[in-house]
């Protein structure tokens, strides 16, 4: 973001499903019409994970702490400065997001015939 804001680089597209409120004049890859990018996204996200069997009370405490951190204006400002849109996704919604990402990259690795060594 600082490079874009300083005019040192030009953003051609954002790798998100919808335009970023941080760069409203920059199209998504879909909108830009770049061949082979239909539906392309590359969202960055971070998560807190706990071992299976963690007591519900501990999970609830982690959720509260994560949401509290995400809701701080200093957190939002820092993430926005990096070009990220702060969100707080917890519980089953986070599991769904992780499953979707794993499925996407598993399919992509298969299509590209990538193998772990």
Secondary structure (3-state) at 14: strand
How much is the pTM?
0.64
What pLDDT, on a 0 to 100 scale, did the predictor assign at position 54? 95
Quote the percentage of the chain above a pLDDT of 90: 28
Highest mean pLDDT among 7-16, 32-41, 78-87, 103-112: 7-16
- In this predicted structure, the answer to whether residue 35 has a pLDDT above a threshold of 70 is no
58 backbone φψ class: left, alpha, beta (φ>0; ψ -120 to 50): alpha
Mean pLDDT of the chain: 87
Please give the Cα distance from 109 to 92 (Å, whole number).
Answer: 26
The string of pLDDT tens digits covering residues 51-98 is 999 999 999 999 999 889 888 999 888 888 877 777 888 888 888 989
Quote the percentage of the chain above a pLDDT of 70: 97
Annotated domain spans of the chain: 1-43, 45-117
On whether the CB atoms of residues 16 and 41 are closer than 8 A, the answer is yes
């Amino acid at each position: 973001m600082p490079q874009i804001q300083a005019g040192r680089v030009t953003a051609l597209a954002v790798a998100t499903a919808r335009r970023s409120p941080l760069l409203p004049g920059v199209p998504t890859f879909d909108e830009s019409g770049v061949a082979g990018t239909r539906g392309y996204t590359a969202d960055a996200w971070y998560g807190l994970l706990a071992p299976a069997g963690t007591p519900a009370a501990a999970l609830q405490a982690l959720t509260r702490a994560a949401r509290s951190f995400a809701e701080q204006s200093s957190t939002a400002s820092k993430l926005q400065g990096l070009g990220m849109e702060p969100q707080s996704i917890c519980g089953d919604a986070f599991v769904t997001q992780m499953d979707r990402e794993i499925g996407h990259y598993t399919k992509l690795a298969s299509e590209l015939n990538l193998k772990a060594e």
